[in-house]
Amino acid sequence: MANKERKHIYRYRKSSLIYKLDQNYEYQSSITGVSFQHERFTLNTEGLIVVNKGYAWNGCSPKLSFFTMIFGTPEGDIHPEEEVPRTYYASLVHDVLYQFSGDITATGQLARKDVDREFYKLLKAHQFLPAFIYYLAVRTFGGLFWDGSG
């Protein structure tokens, strides 16, 4: 990895945000019929999600920061081809959609179960073995953080 650009950074000191995009990330989801635009990301009616460079998130929740250490839900091993933890993209898409769920549902219907399903699909696509356990956790506890209706 010496010659490759790092795809993420760790920020231990100021908060529990541990990842920050160094370039835009595009993901073709199955969430269609909803359009939303914000300075941090867009979702178009065909399901394309673009998260903009600079977006920061905490990975799989919950996370707590204590001095220079972060404690919380494991992120999995490093994917050998992508050189990021296996939960990296799943947590990115899930976090951005949850963060703006109230605003998105004000412009169109976005269901929490659809967002959670995308999380599961991305975990499976990156061969994260406990994907179903993580999916069950977001289905069980995600409602505590969901701001939208549905």
The answer to whether residue 95 sits within a structural domain is yes
The answer to whether residue 149 sits within a structural domain is no
**How many domains, in total, are found in the chain?**
1
The answer to whether residue 7 sits within a structural domain is no
pLDDT digit string (tens) for the chain, length 150 residues: 333 444 444 443 345 678 899 999 999 999 999 999 999 999 999 999 999 999 999 888 776 666 666 666 767 788 888 889 999 999 999 999 999 998 888 777 889 999 999 999 999 999 999 999 999 999 998 888 888 655
The answer to whether residue 41 sits within a structural domain is yes
The answer to whether residue 150 sits within a structural domain is no
The answer to whether residue 10 sits within a structural domain is no
The answer to whether residue 61 sits within a structural domain is yes
The answer to whether residue 111 sits within a structural domain is yes
Half-sphere exposure of 88 (CA within 13 A, CB side): 21
Residues spanned by the domain of 36: 19-144
pLDDT for res 9: 43
Strand ranges for 36-133 from DSSP E: 36-37, 41-43, 48-51, 56-57, 63-66, 69-72
pTM of the model: 0.83
